[in-house]
Amino acid sequence: MSVTGSAGALWLDSPHWAEFIATYLFLGGVSGGAYLTSTWASLMKHLMDEQNWLSRLLLARSDDRAHRCACAETARWGSLIGVLGIAVGGVALLMHLGAPLRALTFPVLFTNFGSWLVIGTWVIVLFAVWAVLETLWLHFGAELQGASGMSLFPRKILSWFDGVMPWRTDRGITWLIDTIADATRPPSRLWGGLRIIGGVLSITLIVYTAMLLSDVTVVQFWTRPYLPFIFLMSGVSTGISAALLGTVLSGGALTRANHRFCLTDDAIIVVELVGIGLLLSFLSSSPNMGAQASLTALFDTYQLLFVGGVLAFGTIIPVILSLTITVLHEFTHFEENPMGARLLTGGYATKYVLVLIGGFLLRYVVLMAAVKSPLAVQGV
């Protein structure tokens, strides 16, 4: 990695630490957050199916069909985005490597389990395997034959493929995958326990990228505990937004499921803003020249991306938009008008897209505004 001098500090100036790595950091957070969203939506649907005292306490109503369908769609979208995100993010990471195929040797070569690079590699592999299984069990199975929902497009594609093949039969690829899903799907209680393990993996996946960066102690901008906390909040927020964007596209914008997840996302964004504020306060009060150079970069070189992209359009405006939609949705009859319903749906979709854009820009700015502190050499 090349470096260039700037006011006594060293800029991490390398194209390899720009778009590809920012994309990987972003998609890793989205994948973990989307899986957590899927798990929570699955829990809500399970509680509605059980209709016990806990469901009445947490959900208030268990007879809302639209809410039940939205939970199912959110769970499926979350698991699918978890798989797609880690797959595309993994490709972006491998493209950063000089010899991508050497990554396949990690079980033999990566033995330093005190390193976040090694920890993260194992977490990526284990999370990817579990996310694929979760997606298999949520999207396939005999009970889903004839089921509707935009999130089921993978099985619809396979069904179409079965229909156009010259050897058309009732036992095609879809039937085979359905059979595998039914044969491997664990009992409900065991599945719930496994989801806890999946949740731990997803949180670790979100946080490890920040921990890896913060191991570079000469970069004050990447310091702990601020950056890992910010990445965790941002990862969960972008994961919720990605999964719920799918739910909105599936027609579930005006359901209680989307409304509750949207408000939860707002709360997480506010906490994320607090974390960003604490990091900026730390940088401004630090006498370290690298910290001061990073702060200058944020509000000078990358002012448009950071202030305009991350703070304004990526966090503050989405919260304001969400609260406006909440008032219209909950305290008026705005959605009863077809035009009003379309505007509310568009508002939800816009909010989620802005959060996703802000999440990517956050990672990009974190990489590009990083400045190495100058090394103090005695006698010089």
pTM for this predicted structure: 0.89
Residue 130: burial class (beta carbons within 10 Å; 0-12, 13-18, 19+): buried
Query: What single DSSP character describes residue 234?
Result: H
CATH code linked to domain 16-141+185-369: 1.20.1630.10
Residue 258: name the closest of 236, 241, 272 by CA. Answer: 241
What is the 3-state composition of the chain as percent helix, strand, coil, each rounded to the nearest 5? 80, 5, 20
Burial 233-251 (b: 16+ CB within 10 A, else e): bbbbbbbbbbbbbbbbbbe
Tell me the C-alpha distance between 56 and 208, whole Å.
37
Q: What is the pLDDT along the chain (380 residues), one digit of tens a residue?
A: 334 444 444 444 444 466 788 998 999 999 999 999 999 999 888 877 776 666 666 655 556 788 888 999 999 999 999 999 999 988 887 776 666 666 666 655 666 777 777 888 889 999 999 999 999 999 999 898 888 889 999 998 988 888 777 766 677 889 999 999 999 999 988 998 999 999 999 999 999 989 988 888 788 899 888 999 999 999 999 999 999 999 999 999 988 889 989 999 999 999 999 999 999 999 999 988 888 999 999 999 999 999 999 999 999 999 999 999 989 988 888 888 889 899 999 999 999 999 999 999 999 999 998 877 665 545 54
Tell me the C-alpha distance between 166 and 332, whole Å.
55
Q: Which two tokens stand for residue 202?
A: 């997803």
**Segments making up each domain of the chain, as ranges:** 16-141+185-369
Backbone Cα Rg of the chain:
23
Is the separation of the CB atoms in 246 and 73 below 8 Å? yes
